[in-house]
Amino acid sequence: MKIKLVLRKMVIKLKGVDWMLYRSFGKTGKDLSILGFGCMRLPVIGGKQDHIDESKATSMLHYAIDNGVNYVDTAYPYHSAAMHEPGMSEVFVGKALRNGYREKVNLATKLPSWMIKKREDMDYYLDQQLKRLQTDHIDFYLLHGLNKQNWDNYKKLDVFEFLERAIADGRIGYVGFSFHDDLPLFKEIVDAYDWTFCQIQYNYMDEEYQAGREGLEYAAAKGLGVVIMEPLRGGSLVGKIPEDISRIWDKNDIKRSSAEWALRFVWNRPEVGIVLSGMTEMEHVEENIKIAEQGYPDSLNDKEIKLIKEVQNAYKARNKVDCTACKYCMPCPSGVDIPGNFGMLNSAFMYDAVQETKKGYGFFKASKRDASNCEECGQCEDLCPQGISIRKMLKEVEAALT
C-alpha cells in the first residue's frame, strides 16, 4: 500500500501559470486538475437561480481555465427554477466555452435520473444536453444522483446498453455516476459495471456519510477516478465559524483559512482525483486556485491531522440528537425519514445554520418525509439501539425548522 501511495504522488504534474496540480485520473490515465469548476452555484441576478450573471460567471470560468483548471462540471437541472425543469447552467457553459475554451477542458454533465421514465428518455436528454452545451461530445458523463429508486429503474430500462451505444457513437467519452445513498448500495453500483469514475460527497465532517471514506477507498481500489463534491459541505465549513472551532484552528503554527483546511483535508487523500468547488465570486476562484498549489496527497502532518480530528469532535459535541443514522428505525409506517430529519436538526445547530437548514427542510415537507407526519406510534423507539426518544425529538425538529 505504501508503494502505491508513492506512485500516486509521482504522477502529479506541475503545469500552468499558478502551478496547478494534476493527478492521473483512475483508469483513464488522463491528467486532470485537482480543482474542478462546479457550475451549480454561479453568480445570479436578482436572487433568481435561473438568471445567471453571465458576464461575471464567464470571467470566473475563463480565469480558472487560464490558470490550469481543466475539468468543468455541470448538470441538466443546475440553475433552474424547479428541480424538474431544465436549468440554465448547461446553456451558460456552452456559451462560455466558445472561442477555443471548449478544447482546453474536460466537460462533465449528468443524465437527470429522476426524469427517466423509458429507455428513449436517455437518448432524448443526452441529445438535448449536447445542443445546450454546443458540443458534439461530452468527455465525462454521469448518471445523476443515484439512489436505490432510480438505480432499480435504470437497471430495468437497461441503462448499460444506452451507455455502450453512446460511447460507440462518440456522444460521450467516459461514464460514471454521482451518488446519494448508503454505502452498501454504493458498492453494489461500483461492482455492477465497468465504470470509469464516480462522484461522491466527502469532507472532514462527512467521512461516514453516504459512500464516505470506505466508499472512497473501495472505488479507488477498483480503478475508478473519484470526484469529490461538497468539500466545504455546502459552505457550512467556511464563513461563519463558531468561536470554539476558530480557537482550535488557531493552535496551528501555520495559519489557514477555513476553506484551506477543508480543501487540504480532501486533497490529502491519495484516492481523490478531483475536488469540485461551486464558486460564486471571483475571490473564491482566486483563493481556491491558490490553495490548490499545496494540494498534495499525504501533505498534512500528524499535528494538523489531530487538529482536524479535534474540530470534528467539537462540531459533533454541538449535536442535538445522538443519531448514528443506522436506520434500524426505518421504514417509518408514516413515511417519516427519521435519520434525515435528525441530520438536519444537527446540521442546523452544529454549523449555526438554522435559517439555511429551514430551506432544505422545506423539501422534506414537499415530499412528506418531514417530522410533522409522525403519528407517534412508537415503533421506531422500540427498534432504536441508541435509546433515543424519537417522538420527542421529531417534535423538536418541527419546532426548530418550520
pLDDT attached to residue 321: 87
The reported pLDDT for the residue numbered 351 is: 85
| Placement of cell 456559451 in the chain | 95
pLDDT in tens, the chain (402 residues): 332 333 343 334 444 444 799 999 999 999 999 999 999 999 999 988 899 999 999 999 999 999 999 999 999 999 988 657 799 999 999 999 999 999 999 999 999 999 999 999 999 999 999 999 999 999 999 999 999 999 999 999 999 999 999 999 999 999 999 999 899 999 999 999 999 999 999 999 999 989 999 999 999 999 999 999 999 988 888 877 888 999 999 999 999 999 999 999 999 999 999 999 999 999 999 999 999 999 999 999 999 999 999 999 999 888 888 887 777 898 899 999 998 899 889 888 888 888 888 888 887 888 888 999 999 999 999 888 788 999 999 999 999 998
* Conformation bin of residue 46: beta by default, left when phi > 0, alpha when psi is -120 to 50: left
| Domain spans of the chain, in order of start | 2-309, 338-401
Q: How far apart are CA 320 and CA 343, in angstroms?
A: 9
Count CB-CB contacts under 10 A for residue 224. 24
Beta partners for 20? 15
Q: Which of 182, 166, 186 is nearest to 174 (CA)?
A: 166
Instruction: Tell me the β-bridge partners of 228.
Output: 200, 275
Query: What pLDDT was estimated at residue 397?
Result: 93
**CA 125, CA 140: separation in Å to the nearest integer?**
15
Give the type of residue at 242. P
Residues 105, 375: Cα–Cα separation, whole Å: 52
**Who's near 290: CB < 8 A, 6+ residues apart?**
18
C-alpha to C-alpha distance for 216 and 214, rounded to whole angstroms = 5
Query: Which residues contact residue 254 at a Cβ distance below 8 angstroms, ignoring those fewer than 6 apart?
Result: none
CATH fold, domain 2-309, is TIM Barrel (3.20.20)
Taking a C-beta distance cutoff of 8 angstroms, is the pair 42, 52 a contact? Answer: yes
pLDDT in the model for residue 83 = 59
Determine contact, residues 87/75, Cβ cutoff 8 Å: yes
